Structures are given as C-alpha cells and as structure tokens.
Amino acid sequence: MELSALNIVDYIVIAVLIGSGILATLRGFMRELLGVIGWFLAVILARLTQPLMEDWLEDYILEEALVEIIAWMTPFVLVVLGWFVFANLAAPGLKKMAMGALDRPLGFIFGLFRGLVIVALVYMGILVITESEESFPEAVLTSASIAPVRVVATAMTGFAPDDVQDTVEDAIPDQDLDDIKDGFKDAAEEQAEDAIENAEDLLPDEQVIPLPESN
C-alpha cells in the first residue's frame, strides 16, 4: 500500500503499534505472553462467574445494565491483579529457561499484535458509546486501518458481555459484518481442509476413508 493512501488515523494506528512493539521489546516476550495469558484467563473467568455475581448483586443494585457491568468487571479486575503479581515473579526465571536471545525480538512481534488489539478495544468502546459508525469522523471510515480493526473487534466480541457483543455487531455496517463472518468461515474451512490433507499424507492409503462432499 502506498503511503499517500494513508491518512492521519492510519498514522496514529501505526504509532500505537510501534509504541506497543517497543514496549514489548523492552519487557520481553515471556513477560508479555504471561500478561496476555492473564488477561485471557480474566476474561474467561469473568464470563463464567458473571451469572453468579449477577444473582448476588441484584439484591443490592436495581439497574440491570449496571449489575451486568459490575458482575463482569469485578472478577476480571481481581484475576488481572492476582496474575500480575504471579507474572512478575515467574517471568525472569521462565525467560532464562525458555527464550534466551529470542525473548526481545519475539516481544516486538507480540507487541505489534497487542497494539492492534488495543486499537480494536478503543474502536469497540466508541461503538458501545455511540452505537453506530455514522458518528465516526470521515477520516476513520476512509482509513486503511478500519477493515482489520473491524475484523479483530468482531473476533473479540465473543469474549465480551452479551450487551457489548450485540451493540458492536449492530453498529458495524451489515455488508462489512457479512464480509468479516464470511472471511472467518472461509479461513476455518481452509484450515479444516489442510488438516485433512495432512492427516491423509500421514496415513497409509488403505486407511484413508474419503469424507462425503458437503452440499
């Protein structure tokens, strides 16, 4: 892509990616990986414990939307804080044992991906507030960054509270959302076909059972 096709929003996104990459390089891949694992565990546990928290909070808070937010955020924050302490204690030893000289280069690559996730989270947050892309500045909608950010945001909604997931999916233009979902479907089918081909290559011919073709 030519640089002339980029606008101010694209340059801001690039700056976030590079900044995240540099920070991850300084901290190292293992420490960053442990951090993301902690965030992932926090999201999963928040989703699992949210119904129990809601049942308890409903006795004290009448606003349903507020109950859902607090029920999700409370276990999320507690797990993140606990994991942060664990990661800081475990990372130095794990880095020496597993990564060595690759720790910082891999950290930069990891940081780039994390930067994209951060941008997607900001995009999701604005969508939840505005409930539509129509209020976005023209520079955002015409940027080269909007397409990959939509893809990452759509993938991340599966881990968000139901209200957030519905709001984000409703706010993305229908055609763009359909294109994203079709892209996920095509990628999954391609991965499945590759896995089947690899399995067939490893098995003797007489053990390969042809799969029925899908209509």
> What pLDDT was estimated at residue 182?
59
DSSP output for the chain: --GGG--HHHHHHHHHHHHHHHHHHHH-HHHHHHHHHHHHHHHHHHHHHHHHHHHHHTTT---HHHHHHHHHHHHHHHHHHHHHHHHHHHHHHHIIIIIGGGHHHHHHHHHHHHHHHHHHHHHHHHHHHHSSGGGS-HHHHTSTTHHHHHHHHHHHGGGS-HHHHHHHHHHS-HHHHHHHHHHHHHHHHHHHHHHHHHHHHHS-GGG--PPPPP-
53 or 195: which leads in pLDDT? 53
Return the pLDDT at 207. 53
Percent of the chain with pLDDT over 90: 8
Q: What's the pLDDT tens digit per position in 149-196?
A: 888 888 888 777 777 777 777 777 655 555 555 555 555 556 666 666
Give the mean pLDDT of 68-95: 84
pLDDT digits (tens, 9 = 90+) for 1-39: 556 678 899 999 999 999 999 988 888 888 888 888 888
